[in-house]
Amino acid sequence: MTLFAYPPQAIVNRVLPKNKVYANATISARLRQAFVADLHQIVWRAKLAPETIRLTATRDVPEIQVFELALKGPDFNEDIARTIDAAIPFPIVFELTFEGKIRTLAAWKRPTAADPTKWMTGDYLETPWQPADAPRQELPVALDMGGLYEQILRAVSPHPARRGETLAEHMERLGRIRTLQTESDKLERKLTQERQFNRKVEINARLRAITDDIAALSEHREAPL
């Protein structure tokens, strides 16, 4: 449940008007309503860049933005974060706040191979809620902005990286866990509604297999060679 302390020279603390996001992203009427109903304000908390933290930019990570999303309730629509990510062409770390609590949210965001001016954003990783005044630790030691971003993402990950596992491999494994968990949840609901004994047996067998797969993917060990 890591929270990072950002150096004074990186602090921005500037409110970002929601209409700035609307102007730079495709947003539906439903999602615009979510911005109004769920989000009190967006605060640009910090800019982690070569000129603020003295790390060399990389192609994929020229700088990292940190935004606080002050929520009106404990539930959060990830499409809000995805819309902000689409509007801002840099990796982003979100800090969600609500009634004295905080959690970190981030997705692996990088330029596409075909067009470096276009960005792709993966699944969101998030930490549990914790007190907003919980101790913060210094940013990880890194050689460049790419290395810093990698360590931040790994810190937010619900399952730690395996020894020798690249960031791409780590994120791919987390995606597989998430997909399997979604399938498991669907089968659990289906099981409660099923009346035929034979079908219940089949569903239970599939659930056990998925549970085993999730356990294997979640296990912290050395990555295979």
* Cα(157)–Cα(144) distance, integer angstroms: 20
- pTM to 2 decimals? 0.89
Q: For residue 74, what are its two tokens?
A: 């404990």
**What are residue 196's DSSP bridge partners?**
none
- Spatial CA neighbour of 68 closest among 35, 47, 43: 43
**What are residue 115's DSSP bridge partners?**
none
pLDDT tens series, the chain, 225 aa: 579 999 999 999 999 999 999 998 889 999 999 999 999 999 999 999 999 999 999 999 999 999 999 999 998 999 999 999 999 999 999 999 999 999 999 999 999 988 888 999 999 999 999 999 999 999 999 999 999 999 999 999 999 999 999 999 999 999 999 999 999 999 999 999 999 999 999 999 999 999 999 999 998 765 454
* Cα(21)–Cα(40) distance, integer angstroms: 14
* Cα(100)–Cα(52) distance, integer angstroms: 28
